[in-house]
Structure 1
Amino acid sequence: MELRQLRYFVAIVDHGSLSRAALVLHVAQPALSQQLRQLEQELGAQLLHRSAQGVLSTDAGKVFYEHAQAILKQVADAKSAVTQSAERPSGGVTLGLPHSISGALALPLLMAARERYPEITLQLTEELTGNLAEQLKSGRVNLAVLLDDGQLGPFACTPLVEEELRYICRAGSVFARPGGSIALEQALAATLILPGLQHGVRPRIESVARAAGLSTANVIEINSIAILKSALLADMGATILPAAPLLAELERGALVSQAIERPAISRTVVLCAPKNIPLTNAAAAVGRLVQQVSAELCAGGVWLGATALPA
C-alpha cells in the first residue's frame, strides 16, 4: 500500500467521481482506476460503488476513508514538524470544538491566531464531544476542547475553564420561574429540551441529577444547537445549557436564564492532545493560544458563566 494510493482514494471520494479526481490530481483516469483496483485487491474489499453518475463509498470504503485521512494528516504533520521553526511556527493545525463551546471560543481564537501566528493555517471543526474524542485518538484532529467526564485517560489534558450550566427559556415563557435562581429539582420537573447522551452536556446533567436523587422526566432530545434555539423560542420547553451557545438570544432578551442551585451544575472544559502523536510546533503554539484566549475571555466577562482554571 502506497501513500499515493491513499491520496488518490481520498480525492475520488471527495470529488465524487474518478474523472473529476483525475483532473484535480493531474493523473490519467486509467492510471487512477488501476491504482484503485490494486488498493481494493490488497485490502480484499470493494471500496467504491461505481455508476454513470459517479462513485459512492461502500461500508468498507467509509471506514477506510477515515483511516486514510488520518494517515495523510499525520504524514503532513511529520513533514511540517521537521521544517518549521519554534520561533515562527507554520503549517496546518486542526482544532476540534464541541457545539456548545464554539460560540464562545471560535471567533476570538481565529482572530487571535490570525494576528499572532499568520503563518499557521488554523482549521476549526465543530462536532459532538464523542465524535471529537474519536477523531483525536485517530489523529484526524491535532487538538480538541473536550469536557472532563473522567474518561480522558488516552489524552494529555490541560484545564481551561469551569463553566456554569443555567436554566434557560423564552422570555415570558410558561416554563419561566420567579426569582434569580431555581432549584435543580424544579428545573428537572419542567419539559426540557436537551441534547442526546452522546453530547457532553447531557451526561453531566444526568450525573448531577442522580447524585441528588433526582432524574429527568420529560425530555425532548435535539442535538442541533440551531434547532434547539428554535424550539426554545417556540416555547416547547426550557433547557439546561451553558450561556455561550445561546448568547445572542440572551443578550437581546429573547431568552432568559437563571442560575441553578441545590445543587448547582457546572462542567470542566479541558484542552486535549493525543499522548501517542507528537505535537508540531504549530499545534503546540495553538494549544498555548487556546489557554490564553480562554483566560482572557473569562477575565473580561465575555465567556459568560465561565471561570478560568489554572493550567
Structure 2
Amino acid sequence: MELRQLRYFVAIVDHGSLSRAAKVLHIVQPALSQQLQLLEDELGASLMHRSAQGMQATDAGKIFYEHAQAILKQVHDARSAVAQSTDKPSGTVALGIPQSASGALAFPLLAALREKYPDIVFQLTEELTGHLTEQLRCGRLNFAILFDDGQLGGFNSKPLAEEDMMYITRADSRFAGKRKSISLAKALQSPLILPSLQHGVRPRIESKVRQAGLQMGEVIDITSIAILKSAIMADMGATILPVSPFLAEIERGEMRALPISGVSLSRTVVLCSSKNIPLTNAALAVQKLVLEVTHDLCASGRWLGAQSLL
C-alpha cells in the first residue's frame, strides 16, 4: 500500500467521481481506476460502488476513508515538524470542540490564533463529544476539548476549567417562576430538554441524579444546541447545562440561568491530545495559546460559570 493510493482514494470519495478526482490529481482516469482496484485487491474488500449519484464509498470504504485521512494528516504533520521554525510556527493544527463549549471558547481562540500565529492553518471542528474522542484517537485531530468522565486515560490531558451547570429556561417561563435558585428535585419536575447520551454532559447529569437518590422525569432528547435553544424559547421545558451556549440569549434577557442548590453539578473541561502522535511546533504553540485564552476568559468573567484550573 502506497501513500499515493491513499491520496487517490480520498480524492475519489471527496469528489464522488473518478473523472473529477483524476482531473484534480492530474492523472488519467484509467490509471486512477487501476490504483483503486489494486487497493481493493490488497484489502480484500470493495471500497467504492457506482450509483445514480456517482461513486460512493461502501461501508468498508467509509471505515478505510477515516483511516486514510488520519494517516495522510500524520504524514503532513511529520513533514511540517521537520520544516517549520520554532520562532515562527506554521502548518496545520486541528482542534475539536463540543457544541456546548464552543460558544465560550471557539471565537476567542480563533481570534487569538489569527493575531499571534497567522502562519498556522487552524482547523476548528464542532462535534459531539463521542465523535471527537474517536477522531482524536485515530489521529484526525491534534487536540480535542473533552470533559473528564474518568475515561480519558488513553490521552494526554490538561484540565482547563471547572464549569458549573445551571437550570436554564426562557426568561418568562412557567418552569422558572420568580426563583433565584432551584433544587435538583424541583428541577427534575419540569420537562427537561437535554442532549443525547452521546453528549458529554448528559451522563454527568444522570450520575448526579442517581447519587442524590432521585430519578429522571420527562426528558426531550435534542442533540443540536440550536434546536435545543428553539425548544427552550418555545417554553417546551427547561435544560440543565453550562451557561456558555446560552450567553447571548441570557445577556439579551431572553433566557434565565438559575443556580441548582444543594448539589455540586459541574463538569471539568480538559484539553486532550494523543499519547502516540508527537505534537508539531505549531501544535505546541496552539496548546499554549488554548491554556492562555482559557485562563483569561475565566479570570475576566467572560466565560460565565467557569473557574480556571490553570
TM-score interval (norm. to shorter): over 0.9
| C-alpha contact 1:101 1:245 (8 A) present in aligned 2 | yes
Letter in 1 for 2:157: C
Structure 1 distance, partners of 2:204, 2:135, is 21
Q: Tell me the equivalent position of 2:55.
A: 55
Identity over aligned residues, as a percent? 67
Letter in 2 for 1:286: V
What is the CA deviation profile of residues 36-94 of structure 1, one whole-angstrom value per residue up to 9, with x for unaligned ones? 01101111111011145411111000000000000000100111111112211110000
Letter in 2 for 1:90: S
Residue 23 (structure 1) shift = 1.1
Alpha carbons of 1:122 and 1:82: their partners in 2 closer, same or farther (altered >3 Å)? Answer: same
Q: Tell me the equivalent position of 1:243.
A: 243
| C-alpha contact 1:184 1:264 (8 A) present in aligned 2 | no
Q: Tell me the equivalent position of 2:297.
A: 297
What is the CA deviation profile of residues 16-41 of structure 1, one whole-angstrom value per residue up to 9, with x for unaligned ones? 11111111111111111110011011
| C-alpha contact 1:142 1:279 (8 A) present in aligned 2 | yes
What is the CA deviation profile of residues 200-231 of structure 1, one whole-angstrom value per residue up to 9, with x for unaligned ones? 11011011111111121100000000100110
Letter in 1 for 2:251: E
Structure 2 distance, partners of 1:54, 1:19, is 10
Aligned-residue CA RMSD in angstroms? 0.9
Structure 2 distance, partners of 1:118, 1:300, is 25
Alpha carbons of 1:10 and 1:186: their partners in 2 closer, same or farther (altered >3 Å)? Answer: same
Q: How does 1:78-227 map to 2 (within 5 A)?
A: 78-227=78-227
Q: Which runs of 5+ in 1 are unaligned?
A: none
Deviates more, 1:272-281 or 1:173-182: 173-182
Letter in 1 for 2:221: E
Q: Which runs of 5+ in 2 are unaligned?
A: none
Aligned pair 1:266/2:269, yes or no?
no
Letter in 2 for 1:238: A
Q: How many residues align?
A: 310
Structure 1 length as normaliser, TM-score? 0.98
What is the CA deviation profile of residues 234-262 of structure 1, one whole-angstrom value per residue up to 9, with x for unaligned ones? 11100001111111111111111101111
Residue 180 (structure 1) shift = 1.3
Query: Which aligned segments of 4 or more residues in structure 1 are displaced greater than 6 angstroms?
Result: none
| C-alpha contact 1:5 1:39 (8 A) present in aligned 2 | yes
Letter in 1 for 2:110: L
What is the CA deviation profile of residues 81-136 of structure 1, one whole-angstrom value per residue up to 9, with x for unaligned ones? 11112211110000000000011111100110011111111110011111111111
Structure 1 distance, partners of 2:22, 2:148, is 44
